[in-house]
Amino acid sequence: MAVCQPLEAAALDALAAPETVAELERLGVLRVDVRGRRRTASLAHPLYVQAVRHRTPSLRTERILRTHIARVRGLGARRQEDALRLAGWELALGTAGDPELLLRAARLACAVHDYPTTERLAAAALAAPGGADHAAMALFLLGHARSELHRPEEGCAAHEAAAAAVVLPAQAQLLCRIAVEHALTLGYTVRRPEEALAVIERAIAATPGLDHAELTAAAAALLNDRGRTGRAVALLADVPVALARTSPVAGTARLDVLGATGRPVQALTELAAGGLDGIGRIGAEGTSILSHRSYLRFSVATVMMAAGRLADAQAEAEGGMADVVLADVPGVHARGALLLGRLHLLGGRDRTALRHFRELAGVARASARPELLRDGLAGASWCRPGWARSPTPAAGSTS
């Protein structure tokens, strides 16, 4: 189980009697998950996995891997997650050679924000025999993973290589996806906005006849971030409002630009057709090329804050931060910490705000982002956790 978890019911029953499994679950050694008619089991704590793997001889580990590879392939590898399991097991054995399987597995890993695994599988797909036929997608995933792993320069280099590997016109849509991600990384993380806008312009010129609304939305977001809000508003006029409800890129751009022009209520109303329930779910299916759906949730919270809805903004931001921490997505962590610091500061909770600004500073130091460190230190300087803020003097007071 430590080598190949989680195991489904049939494999579990072949390993141990039902009463043994029940006893191990009672003792807290195993965790059994039931989803519909499917029952799977895994070791209850990552340290159990590490301890067992460390003590298992390599030849036995290989034998276990080969047995389970044969079992899953024998069952037809029908489930979506089977591709990820097979690719990971074959890679551990050094026998991974199917670039399509590796690429499918890399996409699945990326969808659940497992970026170390995404990088490993995408690189293996690129190196596998026949991998050149899938080079553009493999490099795209490689760039995304490296950007999320705090190596944005490497991510941009992979995106450049991915764009060069695209075969037009067959992969025109992929080129647009690569350009959006490359531009957002260049503009927001590497802080080279003019280069980012040039990437978008080249992609639009290279793909005539396609719908470029998402590229236009990305350009609007970048221009707004640089203070060129008038130009951003003009570009956003060409992006359908309906796209903002399905595309995290367009949704975030619309929230940020309308929020910056003093129209937060309009932004929230447009984005949530019939209410706010749908906003947090945009991009939740793993199809987003943004790092994580929390990025959009933080934009929603920012606009709520501008609209004076501090309680709603805090709830949305805390929900987004919980998603970030659970998925271990450090790239969006900083934005959430900054936002929560500002919200608690506005609510007069200096001590809590200081904790979030310190969290931001820690993320900034870990990722070598001096501009984020400045934000964290500036926020902390506004906090006075040692005493309550001075109350407003009452009318007629001589104090």
Strand ranges across the sheet with 7-8: 7-8, 38-43, 30-35
> Position of tokens 């919270």?
301
Percent of the chain at pLDDT above 90?
32
pLDDT tens digits, one per residue of 260-318: 888 888 877 776 653 344 443 333 333 344 456 677 788 888 888 888 889 999 998 99
pLDDT at 206 over 90: yes
pLDDT at 191 over 50: yes
Q: Are strands 7-8 and 30-35 parallel, antiparallel or unpaired?
A: unpaired
> Position of tokens 């009452």?
394
The per-residue pLDDT of the chain, averaged, comes to 82
Model pTM score: 0.73
CA separation, residue 312 to residues 192, 267, 302, 315 (Å)? 34, 15, 10, 5
pLDDT tens digits, one per residue of 96-133: 678 888 888 888 888 777 888 899 999 999 988 877 77
pLDDT of residue 272: 62
Cα distance between residue 269 and residue 189, in whole Å: 30
pLDDT band at 18 (very low <50, low <70, confident <90, very high): confident
* Three-state secondary-structure class, residue 151: coil
pLDDT at 195 over 70: yes
Cα distance between residue 81 and residue 97, in whole Å: 18
Cα distance between residue 159 and residue 138, in whole Å: 10
Residue 69: strand pairing partners: none
pLDDT of residue 286: 36
pLDDT at 150 over 70: yes
| Residue 100, both tokens | 């399509």
Buried b (16+ CB within 10 A) or exposed e, 287-312: ebbbbbbbbbbbbbbbbbbbbebeeb
pLDDT tens digits, one per residue of 369-380: 777 788 889 999
Q: Name the percent of the chain in helix, strand, coil, to the closest 5.
A: 70, 5, 30
| Alpha helix positions (H), 56-151 | 58-74, 80-93, 99-111, 115-127, 135-148
pLDDT tens digits, one per residue of 317-348: 998 888 776 666 666 788 889 999 999 999 99
pLDDT at 209 over 60: yes
Cα distance between residue 104 and residue 125, in whole Å: 9
| Residue 47, both tokens | 């340290």
pLDDT of residue 279: 40
Count other C-beta atoms under 10 Å from residue 12's C-beta. 19
Cα distance between residue 251 and residue 247, in whole Å: 6
Count other C-beta atoms under 10 Å from residue 59's C-beta. 8
Torsion of CA 330, 335, 336, 339, to 10 degrees: 160
What number of H helices and E strands is found in the chain? 21, 3
pLDDT at 390 over 70: no
